[in-house]
Amino acid sequence: MLKSIFYPTEQNAFIWLSSIYLLFLLYIGKASPMSILFAYFLETIVIGFFNALKMLWSILFGKSKKSDFGLILFFLFHYGFFVAIQSLFGFTLFGIDGTSIIKEPFDIIENYSIILNLEDIKYALPAIVFTHLGKFITDYIHHKKYQKFTAKELMFKPYVRIFLQQFVVIFSFFFIVFGKAGIIAAILLILFRLVVDLVLESIKENSKTLEYVSRKLENEKATKEEIKKQLVIFTE
């Protein structure tokens, strides 16, 4: 099963390439540990954008109803509110050491503008976008998953994954800033995210990983098939 998770395939190629690229940026000095951290922090917005795009594709070409267009607006509203609260919390932590570029956590738009104008963020952030764009094209569109999932099913999909993602980012921040780990913490962040993303990517229909995880989670309240469906939606 480990081979099915970690072995490079067409399905997970974008995850591998993105991680290798970020490690290479660190090696040649084109990205600092903080820029890597901020790139993963910005991933929340990237995930939301592509989730809205998946919902749109499901409505235009899948089994969702045309009346579901309103769900996209609702998603953008509540997801935007969620990102704002999360950003406020994150910016408060980023400014806690007093030497960060983040000075006022409540200036959310200004803080994002500062991050996006960092010299080396222009090298790191494209790797994150590249991963999600590649997955959207080669997986969601190529395998016509928009015909399997409705916009309603996709609407709340990102939240659990984002909680995990941001927890890792914040945890790494303390090592980079207060632990003075710098490069080491950034490398561990990239490698940990690589492992997490590969595991999530391996949980697909008829996969060994899906079969194993659903069997372990099966209980009297949820059958294995019900758990499989929820896992597939969650990892989409």
The pLDDT assigned to 207 comes to 77
Residues 23 and 46: their CA atoms lie apart, in Å, by: 20
Q: What is the pLDDT of residues 186-213, one digit of tens each?
A: 898 899 889 988 988 888 777 778 777 7
Nearest CA-CA partner of 48 in 177, 168, 155, 206: 155
Residues 32 and 124: their CA atoms lie apart, in Å, by: 9
The pLDDT assigned to 158 comes to 85
The pLDDT assigned to 75 comes to 94
The pLDDT assigned to 14 comes to 92
Q: 32, 187 in Cβ contact below 8 A?
A: no
Nearest CA-CA partner of 70 in 153, 151, 188: 151
The pLDDT assigned to 233 comes to 73
pLDDT tens for each residue of the chain, 236 residues long: 677 788 888 888 999 999 999 999 999 999 998 899 899 999 999 999 999 999 999 999 988 888 889 999 999 999 999 899 888 888 888 877 665 677 788 889 999 999 999 889 999 999 999 999 999 998 899 888 889 888 988 988 888 778 777 778 877 877 776 666 678 888 988 998 899 889 888 887 777 787 777 777 777 677 777 777 777 777 77
Distances, alpha carbon 62 to alpha carbons 58, 135, 155, in Å: 4, 18, 15
pTM of the model: 0.88
Residues 218 and 229: their CA atoms lie apart, in Å, by: 12
Nearest CA-CA partner of 25 in 103, 125, 105, 137: 125
